[in-house]
């Protein structure tokens, strides 16, 4: 048994030295490293990614994670989607769309959303325009509130970041357009509303003087729209009816993005928008989707098919790679787990005889100090193994085995 144990140990070490084992172990280790890097890699010092709700959106000035948490705390279920899918079309009660395009929505995207609205009563679409980012406001606030905390070089960097952000917003706001829902026109200068006129349904204790809303373009809703929040001639929120469903048009995200919701008055406006989700359709929690379409997204023509989990089997050369990996796995399984159990090295059995096994067993039993039992077992084995003489029938007296005497 001792020799057998050493043989099994050598067998396991031989298995560990096989190339296939090293490949599998390396792949597992690589996957673990990638997971840890993605999970714990520090985010950029100031993240300005726009319109995202996931891990990136949680830390971004322009993310929507805070708004998503407000929707969750209102009792609704929240998901996100980066495309117009059949699953979202069937399950969504409300879609919140922070547009990534600075132009008006594409006609085919509008057609898809209109079809979704008309498919079931009580649905709600919230569209948020793109002509705002919180980055320039953040850098301006840093330079104004902490003027003595930065060295000249860092002050210059902050000023450049603010200037580049302002130039970018001026560029994207200069492009107007018209669609079925509204018309967008650029403003000659930034408007910061300090007065609000609200629909009776949206009345609330909001102090307009504390608002930090910025308007760089003027949203002119369709003629059949109902204005809910406005500042002088500038529309902030409007409502379009589509049968028993409705669309809420928001000029931009200057009171809905992460950084802007630090302002208490902005949170009041955002809370009223969230309350509109519960007021649409039947009472109870709703399935809310945050739509994060990439820039320039156009839905495919015809019926949208859900991607199959097996679609990668049709992609070259990935299908050949996976086929080879599958065959290698089958070969490994057949080699490692044969029909009658794990195999043994052939030379192990050739070096070990049954007598040696009995000797090792007898010596092991001798340690138990039960000499009579050991003597009886070994004497029986010697009588069976010794050739019998003719006419010899008397009983053998138990004698001490020579194996014990050795």
Q: pLDDT tens for residues 198-239?
A: 999 888 888 888 998 999 898 999 888 999 999 888 999 999
Percent of all residues in the chain with a pLDDT value above 90, rounded to a whole number = 23
> Starting from the edge strand earliest in sequence, which strands make up the sheet with 234-242, in order?
77-81, 287-291, 94-98, 124-128, 245-250, 234-242, 226-231, 197-198
pLDDT tier at 265 (50, 70, 90 boundaries)? very high
Task: From the options 2.60.40, 3.40.50, 3.10.28, 3.90.70, give the CATH code of 55-300.
Answer: 3.40.50
Residue 8 has pLDDT above 50, yes or no: no
What pLDDT is attached to residue 228? 93
On the 0-12 / 13-18 / 19+ scale of CB atoms within 10 A, 287 is middle
Q: What is the DSSP string of 173-206?
A: HT--EE-SSEEEEEEEEEE-----EE-GGG----
pLDDT digits (tens, 9 = 90+) for 338-385: 566 555 555 555 555 666 776 777 676 667 667 777 677 777 777 776
More confident residue, 50 or 400: 50
Task: Indicate the angle between helix axes 65-73 and 264-279, nearest 10 degrees.
Answer: 50
Average pLDDT on 140-145 reads: 82
Residue 249 is predicted with a pLDDT of: 94
Q: What is the pLDDT of residue 82?
A: 87
Is the per-residue pLDDT at 332 higher than 90? Answer: no
Note if the bond before 317 is cis, omega within 30 degrees: yes
pLDDT for res 304: 57
Say whether 60 sits in a helix, a strand or coil: strand
Q: What is the pLDDT of residue 174?
A: 83
Contact (CB, 8 A) for 97 and 293: yes
pLDDT attached to residue 42: 56
- The pLDDT assigned to 110 comes to 92
Q: What was the pLDDT predicted at 393?
A: 45
Give start and end residues of each alpha helix (H) in 280-344.
318-336
Residues forming a β-bridge with 238: 227, 249
* Cα–Cα distance measured from residue 321 to residue 331, given in angstroms and rounded to the nearest whole number: 15
- DSSP class of residue 47 equals B
| β-pair partners for 237 | 229, 250
Residue range(s) of every CATH 3.40.50 domain in the chain: 55-300
Q: Which of the residue ranges 43-47, 236-240, 241-245, 387-391 would you say has the lowest mean pLDDT?
A: 387-391
C-alpha to C-alpha distance for 52 and 56, rounded to whole angstroms:
7
The residue among 53, 115, 124 whose CA lies nearest residue 86 is: 115
Of 11-20, 241-250, 313-322, 353-362, which range is least confident? 11-20
Least confident of 49-53, 332-336, 398-402: 398-402
């Amino acid at each position: 048994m001792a020799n057998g144990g050493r043989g099994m140990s050598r067998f396991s070490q031989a298995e560990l030295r096989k190339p296939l084992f090293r490949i599998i172990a390396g792949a597992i280790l690589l996957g673990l490293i990638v997971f840890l890097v993605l999970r714990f890699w520090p985010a950029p010092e100031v993240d300005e990614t726009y319109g995202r709700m996931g891990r990136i959106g949680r830390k971004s000035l322009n993310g929507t994670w805070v708004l998503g948490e407000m929707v969750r705390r209102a009792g609704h279920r929240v998901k996100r989607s980066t495309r117009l899918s059949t699953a979202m079309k069937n399950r969504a009660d409300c879609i919140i769309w922070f547009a990534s395009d600075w132009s008006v929505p594409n006609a085919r995207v509008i057609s898809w959303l209109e079809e979704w609205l008309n498919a079931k009563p009580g649905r709600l679409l919230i569209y948020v325009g793109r002509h705002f980012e919180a980055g320039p406001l953040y850098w301006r606030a840093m330079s104004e509130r902490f003027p003595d905390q930065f060295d000249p070089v860092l002050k210059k960097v902050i000023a450049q970041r603010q200037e580049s952000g302002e130039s970018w917003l001026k560029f994207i706001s200069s492009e107007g357009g018209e669609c079925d829902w509204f018309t967008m026109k650029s403003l000659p200068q930034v408007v910061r509303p300090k007065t609000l006129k609200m629909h009776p349904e949206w009345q609330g204790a909001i102090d307009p003087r504390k608002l930090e809303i910025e308007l760089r373009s003027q949203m002119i809703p369709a003629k059949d729209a109902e204005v809910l929040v406005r500042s002088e001639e500038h529309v902030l929120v409007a409502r379009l009816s589509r049968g028993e469903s409705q669309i809420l048009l928001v000029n931009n995200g200057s009171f809905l993005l992460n950084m802007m919701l630090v302002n208490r008055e902005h949170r009041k406006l955002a809370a009223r928008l969230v309350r509109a989700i519960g007021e649409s359709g039947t009472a109870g929690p709703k399935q809310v989707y945050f739509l994060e379409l990439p820039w320039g997204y156009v839905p495919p023509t015809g019926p949208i098919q859900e991607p199959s989990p097996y679609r990668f089997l049709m992609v070259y050369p990935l299908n050949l790679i996976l086929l080879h990996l599958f065959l290698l796995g089958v070969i490994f399984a057949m080699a490692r787990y044969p029909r009658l159990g794990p195999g043994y090295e052939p030379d192990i059995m050739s070096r070990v005889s049954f007598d040696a096994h009995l000797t090792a067993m007898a010596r092991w039993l001798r340690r138990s100090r039960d000499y009579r039992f050991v003597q009886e077992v070994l004497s029986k084995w010697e009588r069976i193994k010794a050739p019998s003489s003719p006419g010899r029938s008397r009983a053998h007296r138990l004698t001490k085995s020579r194996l014990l005497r050795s």
